[in-house]
Amino acid sequence: MKSLRVQFFSFLAVLLIVLLLMLNIFPITSSRDTVFQEKESSISGQAAILATSLAKLDKPDQASVGEVLRLLNITGFERTVVVDTRGQTLYYTYGTSAPESEEKDLNTALSGKTVFRSKYDGESFLSSYAIPISCQGAITGAVYLLERDVVRAVIILDVQSQIRIISVMIILVVLALAVVFSSVILRRIHDLASSMRIVAAGDYSHRMQISGSDELSDLGNEFNTLTERLDATERERRRFVSDASHELKTPLASIRLLSDSIVQNENMDTETVREFVTDIGNEAERLQRTTEKLLDLSRLDDDIQVIPEPVDVKQVAVDALVLLRPLAKERQIRLRCELEEGCVVMATVDDMFHIIFNLIENAIKYNLDGGSVFVRLETGPENIMLTVEDTGVGIPEEDRYNIFTRFYRVDKARSREAGGSGLGLSIVHAAVKAHGGTVQARNNCGLVIEIALPCEEGEEDEQNSDRGG
Ligand SMILES: Nc1ncnc2c1ncn2[C@@H]1O[C@H](COP(=O)(O)OP(=O)(O)OP(=O)(O)O)[C@@H](O)[C@H]1O
Ligand SMILES: [Mg+2]
């Protein structure tokens, strides 16, 4: 694995090399080209004037050409050579030895063409120009001028060395900034990675310190949110395991105590034995109810792929009411209902039955003797609404957020006495959620629970994809 730092610096190095090469090459070549152009125009102009003036001379020689040069003020050339048609030198001033190209260029000029050369050797610009001397269409000789320019070369050398200094400074500044920047970024990535390792090792309470508001901070915030959820899930799991153990332990301990009493007490009369065995049976039944509810919940949690079918909610509600009527009668509780026809949802009959049965059962169990329960079923534009309202004790505001939590009971003694395990509403909540609905609790005279479930129409596809995913 290539470290991020190596990748970053390799990229930066390539970028810097390209940039600095451009910075070092481009200005120098372009200013050199400008000098070449300038040289060509100035030297060709002077050569042309000289050639025209020399064409007027009858017999050009060292003295007369020198006079013309002086009159025209053409000075400062390294070499000035004038030849006749045969190439014989008529005039010369030599500041330096002849370059290789001189003779060739003079011959080219004698054939009627001009030749310009210019080169930069790092110390000076050496420019030469050869031009024919023509009089009335006939070539009578040629002029060759060679100029050496050190001043401009020095300027270019200066610029070059300044660019080099700037380049070095750029490299140093960029490197320093890159080291600081990469260290900060890498330290933050390293912090994130070590936080992840800590959480992966099981410490869900760990949170990252976030500073700033860039993408890495966002990542840190996301990580903290994820860890918070993990933490909450883990706490919930632990509490669930401990609650479940506790729920199962209590009836088991009673059974143990009752059976021990029977075994140890040889002289126990039949009536008492019968009473004890009945109690053992009741405890066993409570255990069975609790385990069945736990299994229902785990099925709903697992999101096992059940195929939803159209369920007539009214029919399910009537079935639940029939089953619960005896319980209501025992406590002189009046069951009233207003059930609209044609309320169909995509769910399973079992889930719908669990929802409605648990709600009406609670409304009876936690009601006052002689009270009443009202069940209403109606269709809205998108949802069907199921409301179960009672005239019982209701639920205090501070407990209302917890009633869908597993094993949560508001009045523990009362609930236990009523045979409750604290799982009924959790099953309601899980089942409603599984079918895309919502559930709400509020107090009126007693408790009001309202459930909204999507109507069958147009929901089929959504439900399939929900549960299939
Ligand atoms: N209609 C109600 N009126 C007042 N309190 C209620 C009502 N319904 C539920 N509660 C309170 O909410 C708690 C949770 O209800 P839930 O149905 O989940 O459990 P339970 O009835 O105790 O046991 P289970 O339903 O598993 O037999 C109950 O213990 C009770 O204190
Ligand atoms: Mg209940």
Ligand 1 pocket member 403 (CB < 6 A):
yes
Ligand nearest the Cα atom of residue 371: 1
Domains of the chain by start residue, with CATH:
4-156 (3.30.450.20), 211-302 (1.10.287.130), 305-468 (3.30.565.10)
Question: DSSP secondary-structure letter at 57?
Answer: -
Average pLDDT over residues 352-363: 96
- Predicted TM-score (pTM) of the model is 0.62
Q: At what angle do helices 215-264 and 270-302 cross, to 10 degrees?
A: 160
**Which segments of 43-88 are extended strands (E)?**
79-84
CB 432 within 8 A of CB 378: no
Q: How far is the CA of 426 from the centre of ligand 1 (A)?
A: 10
pLDDT of residue 1: 59
pLDDT of residue 316: 96
Residue 427: closest CA among 345, 354, 373: 354
Ligand 1 pocket member 290 (CB < 6 A):
no
Pairing assessment for the beta strands 125-135 and 138-149 based on DSSP bridges: antiparallel
How does pLDDT run across 187-213, given as a tens digit for each residue? 999 999 999 999 999 999 999 998 888
What is the residue type of 272? Answer: T
Number of neighbours of residue 423 by Cβ within 10 angstroms? 24
How distant, in Å, are the alpha carbons of 184, 339, 423, 438 from that of 411? 55, 31, 14, 25
Question: DSSP secondary-structure letter at 418?
Answer: T
Residue among 362, 398, 400, 426 to mutate when testing ligand 1 (max atoms within 8 A of CB): 362
Whole-angstrom distance, CA of residue 140 vs CA of residue 135: 7
Q: How far is the CA of 41 from the centre of ligand 1 (A)?
A: 104
Cα torsion through 64, 69, 72, 78, rounded to 10: 170
User: To the nearest whole percent, how much of the chain has pLDDT over 90?
Assistant: 72
Ligand 1 pocket member 358 (CB < 6 A):
yes
Q: Assess whether pLDDT exceeds 60 at residue 222.
A: yes
Ligand 1 pocket member 371 (CB < 6 A):
no
How does pLDDT run across 378-404, given as a tens digit for each residue? 998 889 999 999 999 899 998 888 899
Note every long-range contact of 107-114, with CB atoms under 8 Å and residues 24 or more positions apart, other chains counting. Answer: 109/142, 109/143, 109/144, 110/83, 110/85, 110/139, 110/141, 110/142, 111/139, 112/139, 114/44, 114/47
Q: Kindly report the average pLDDT of the chain as a whole number.
A: 90
Q: How far is the CA of 255 from the centre of ligand 1 (A)?
A: 25
How does pLDDT run across 8-31, given as a tens digit for each residue? 899 999 999 999 999 999 998 999
How does pLDDT run across 318-353, given as a tens digit for each residue? 999 999 999 999 999 999 999 999 999 999 999 999
321: CB partners within 8 A, 6+ apart = 335, 337, 360, 375
Whole-angstrom distance, CA of residue 258 vs CA of residue 4: 69
Q: At what angle do helices 349-365 and 424-434 cross, to 10 degrees?
A: 150
How does pLDDT run across 123-176, given as a tens digit for each residue? 899 999 999 999 888 999 999 999 999 999 999 999 999 999 999 999 999 999
Q: Assess whether pLDDT exceeds 80 at residue 317.
A: yes
Q: Assess whether pLDDT exceeds 60 at residue 465.
A: no
Neighbours of ion ligand 2 (CB under 5 A): 362, 424
Q: Assess whether pLDDT exceeds 50 at residue 463.
A: no
Ligand 1 pocket member 373 (CB < 6 A):
no
Cα 111 from chain centroid (whole Å) = 75
129: CB partners within 8 A, 6+ apart = 40, 43, 44, 47, 114, 115, 116, 117, 144, 145
pLDDT of residue 416: 67
How does pLDDT run across 62-81, given as a tens digit for each residue? 999 999 999 999 988 999 99
How distant, in Å, are the alpha carbons of 18, 116, 136, 150, 391 from that of 279? 90, 123, 144, 119, 32
CB 55 within 8 A of CB 140: yes
Cα torsion 307, 310, 313, 316: sign: negative
pLDDT of residue 5: 86
Ligand 1 pocket member 415 (CB < 6 A):
yes
Question: DSSP secondary-structure letter at 111?
Answer: T
pLDDT of residue 142: 96
